[in-house]
Chain A
Amino acid sequence: GQQVMQIPQYQHVQEGEDFTTYCNSSTTLSNIQWYKQRPGGHPVFLIQLVKSGEVKKQKRLTFQFGEAKKNSSLHITATQTTDVGTYFCAGRYGNNRLAFGKGNQVVVIP
Chain B
Amino acid sequence: ETGVTQTPRHLVMGMTNKKSLKCEQHLGHNAMYWYKQSAKKPLELMFVYSLEERVENNSVPSRFSPECPNSSHLFLHLHTLQPEDSALYLCASSPTVGHHEQYFGPGTRLTVT
Which A residues are within 8 Å of any B CB, using their own CB? 3, 30-31, 33, 35, 41-45, 48, 50, 88, 90, 92, 96, 98-103
Contacts and interface: CB of A to CB of B under 8 A. Distances in A.
Interface in B87-113: 90, 97-99, 101-107
Contact of A31 (B99, B106, B107): B99
Nearest to A96: B98
A102 B41 contact: yes
A92 B104 contact: no
B3 to A, nearest CB: 12
Main secondary structure of the interface of B (DSSP, over half): loop
Nearest to A30: B99
A45 B90 CA distance: 14
26 contacts: A30-B99, A31-B99, A41-B106, A42-B90, A42-B105, A42-B106, A42-B107, A43-B43, A43-B102, A44-B2, A45-B101, A45-B102, A48-B101, A50-B99, A88-B43, A90-B43, A92-B99, A96-B97, A96-B98, A98-B45, A99-B42, A100-B42, A100-B45, A102-B40, A102-B41, A102-B42
A102 B42 CA distance: 4
A48 B23 CA distance: 25
Interface residues on B, range: 10 to 19
A101 B42 contact: yes
Given A43-B104, A96-B97, 15 more contacts: A31-B99, A33-B101, A33-B102, A42-B2, A42-B90, A42-B104, A42-B105, A43-B90, A45-B102, A50-B99, A96-B98, A99-B42, A102-B40, A102-B41, A102-B42
